Amino acid sequence: MNISVPRRVTAVAALAALALGGLTGTTASANPAAAAAPDIPLANVKQHLTDLQSIATANGGNRAHGRTGYKASIDFVKAKLDAAGYTTTVQTFTSGGSTGYNLIADWPGGDPNQVLMAGSHLDSVTSGPGINDNGSGSAAVLETALAVARAGYQPSKHLRFGWWGAEELGLVGSKYYVAQLPSTERAKLSGYLNFDMIGSPNPGYFVYDDDPTIETTFKNYFAGIGVPTEIETEGDGRSDHASFKNVGIPVGGLFTGASRVKSSAQVQKWGGTATAFDRCYHSSCDTTSNINDTALDRNSDAIAHAIWTLSAGTTTPPGTVFENTADVSVPDNGAAVTSTVNVTGVTGNAPSNLAVGVDIVHTYRGDLVVDLVAPDGSVYSLSNRSGGSADNIVQTFTVNASSEVANGAWKLRVQDKASADTGYINNFKLTFP
Ligand code: TRP
Ligand code: ZN
Ligand code: CA
């Protein structure tokens, strides 16, 4: 008999388990384990835009690829990230005979095999300072990265941020980044989030219609603040997410509209006027005056929400226990036996500190080989004929199970390798921290 009884340690949870019928069902709560994303201060994002405007003004009025204003923009963003504790890398490439630059910033920690990435292009066109296109995305991603540092956030996934060069010349920088990523590194990217034009002066609220999980995460945020969204249709593939999507990486992103005209239905929905979402698109008037603060604020908070939600890696409340209390007798000097616990309702991988509770009643523990077997068959040794003539193994082992998918049938495997003494598995439980 194998009965997995997911149970929680609190009294409330015990009642919930009773309500579910006691023996079946998963934990019912939505996502209390994921830390809430912080509110991204609009004033900070706007200060970054003011600084990018000053950089353009001091460098001939733009921040375009191959111009001094671009490299000054890279230096500006990099200095903030370095000061906050990021590991930054400037990647160079060549386009149109000029050196281009991508900036990559890694937040130390998290699962190196599951990388969540967010990025935006940092270059402008030559005709203007590029504050909405794309100071807005660049500043919001920067401020979200700084908020990660301020919070001391330790997500399950590894976080990486990117600022791309030469997007305006055909996604050149992001294409270069993806092309030079070894396929083993590409495979670790669990998602790429793109932000290009998120403060348009006559804004719409557009969500990219790509990876469903990413799309839903953004839509949920806007639904929560009562702002209607639409699917982005003003040119799929017109920004850096296309470089990632083309090699099979799940992508998503936000957009508030470029030169297309807002329809009357959209004016009804979002306010504003039936004119271009951004009348200064690719023009000299794309300055700090060309920003809608409300749109910039909402989109910045949506970025933080998505990064926090998608990097948490688990939706299991802390202390969730899955256990099997059924006794399994261990034959003397015989074949291995197992007790199974079925883990359900956990998103992503198991934790690096999975608590494995073992309760084996036996008259000579030195007979016993005890392993944890993950759903895919991977074996983690817990005890190998250790402890000599002592009896029983009643112990909680901490196992780094972060390379295992959490959901599935986990087994405690016990084999008695010497004759005379006998016993049984009394209890086997897994606690998700
Ligand atoms: N940087 C893009 C461009 O100049 C802006 C843009 C247009 C865009 N349509 C888009 C960005 C759709 C994202 C999605 O073409
Ligand atoms: Zn752009
Ligand atoms: Ca024995």
Q: Which ligand is nearest to the CA of 420?
A: 3
Q: Which pLDDT belongs to residue 13? A: 30
Identify residue 319 by its one-letter amino acid code: G
| Span from the CA of 390 to the centroid of ligand 3 (angstroms) | 13
User: What spacing in Å lies between the alpha carbon of 80 and ligand 2's midpoint?
Assistant: 22
215, amino acid identity: E
- Is the minimum distance from the CB of 237 to ligand 1 under 6 angstroms? no
Q: Is 254 in the pocket of ligand 1 (CB under 6 A)?
A: no
Which one of the ligands is nearest to 132 CA?
2
Q: CB under 8 Å to 422, separation ≥6 — which residues? A: 329, 330, 331, 332, 362, 363, 416
At residue 134, what is the residue type? N
Task: List all residues 6 or more positions away from 273 whose beta carbon is below 8 Å from its beta carbon.
Answer: 202, 262, 267
Q: How many CB atoms lie within 10 A of CB 76?
A: 18
Per-residue pLDDT at 313: 56
| Distance in angstroms (rounded) separating the CA atoms of residues 75 and 297 | 25
Task: Give the residue carrying structure tokens 């699917």.
Answer: 231
Distance from the alpha carbon of residue 410 to the mean position of ligand 3, in angstroms: 25
**CA-CA distance, 408 to 410, in Å (whole number)?**
6
Of 99, 89, 42, residue with least CA distance to 294: 42
CA distance 80 to 275: 37
Whether 133 is in the pocket of ligand 1, judged by its Cβ within 6 Å, is yes
Which residue has the least CA distance to atom 8 on ligand 1? Answer: 238
CB 116 within 8 A of CB 190: yes
Alpha carbon distance 182, 201 (integer Å): 40
d(CA 246, CA 277): 28
Beta-strand relationship, 379-384 and 337-343: unpaired
CA of 416 to the centre of ligand 3 (A): 5
CA dist 45 and 198 (Å) reads 12
Domains observed in the chain: 35-310 (3.40.630.10), 320-432 (2.60.120.260)
Backbone phi and psi for residue 14, each to the nearest 5 degrees, phi listed first = -60, -40
- Measured CA to CA, the distance from residue 107 to residue 184 in angstroms comes to 20
CA 239–ligand 2 middle distance (angstroms): 6
Q: Are 126 and 65 in contact (CB under 8 A)?
A: no
Antiparallel, parallel or unpaired: β 157-164 and 98-107: antiparallel
Question: In testing the pocket of ligand 1, which one of 124, 238, 240 has its CB within 8 Å of the most ligand atoms?
Answer: 238
Digitized pLDDT (tens) for each residue of the chain, 433 residues in all = 343 434 333 322 332 333 332 222 222 233 334 578 999 999 999 999 999 999 999 999 999 999 999 999 999 999 999 999 999 999 999 999 999 999 999 999 999 999 999 999 999 999 999 999 999 999 999 999 999 999 999 999 999 999 999 999 999 999 999 999 999 999 999 999 999 999 999 999 999 999 999 999 999 999 999 999 999 999 879 999 999 999 999 999 999 999 999 999 999 999 999 999 999 999 999 999 999 999 999 999 999 999 999 998 554 567 789 999 999 999 999 999 999 999 877 766 688 889 999 999 999 999 999 999 999 899 999 999 999 899 999 999 999 987 777 778 999 999 999 999 999 999 999 998 8
Tell me the C-alpha distance between 412 and 210, whole Å.
Answer: 40
Asked if residues 393 and 424 have their Cβ atoms less than 8 Å apart, the reply is no
Q: Which of 185, 250, 243 lies closest to 217 in space, CA to CA?
A: 250
Confirm or reject: Cβ of 301 under 6 Å from ligand 1.
no
Residue 32: left if φ>0, alpha if ψ -120 to 50, beta else—which one? alpha
Q: What per-residue confidence (pLDDT) applies to 261?
A: 98
369: number of Cβ within 10 Å: 16
* pTM given for the model: 0.70
Q: Separation of 47 CA from ligand 1 center, angstroms?
A: 23
Sheet containing 337-343: give its strands across.
Answer: 337-343, 408-416, 368-373, 379-384
Can you list the positions of beta strands (E) in 201-278? Answer: 206-207, 230-231, 251-255
Asked if residues 240 and 178 have their Cβ atoms less than 8 Å apart, the reply is no
Q: Closest residue (by CA) to atom 4 of ligand 1? A: 168
Identity (one letter) of the amino acid at 314? T
Q: Which atom of ligand 1 is nearest to the CA of 282?
A: 4
The residue whose C-alpha atom lies closest to atom 6 belonging to ligand 1 is 238
For residue 134, cis peptide bond before it (omega within 30 degrees of 0): yes
Q: Is 239 in the pocket of ligand 1 (CB under 6 A)?
A: yes
Residue 333 CA: which ligand is closest? Answer: 3
The whole-number pLDDT of residue 317 equals 66
Say if residues 314 and 351 touch (Cβ distance below 8 Å).
Answer: yes
Q: Which amino acid is at 388?
A: G
**What would the two tokens of residue 51 be?**
């600084």
For ligand 1, is residue 210 a contact (CB within 6 Å)?
no
Instruction: Report which of 68, 65, 62, 77 is spatially closest to residue 131, judged by C-alpha positions.
Output: 62
> Is the beta carbon of 236 within 6 A of some atom in ligand 1?
no
33 lines ligand 1 (CB under 6 A): no
Q: Are 168 and 125 in contact (CB under 8 A)?
A: yes
Which distant-in-sequence residues (6+ apart) come within 8 Å of 355 by Cβ?
Answer: 396, 397, 398, 430, 431, 433
**List of E strands, 212-319:** 230-231, 251-255
Check if 235 has its Cβ closer than 6 Å to any atom of ligand 1: yes
Residues surrounding ion ligand 2 at CB below 5 Å: 133-134, 196
Which positions are catalytic?
Answer: 167
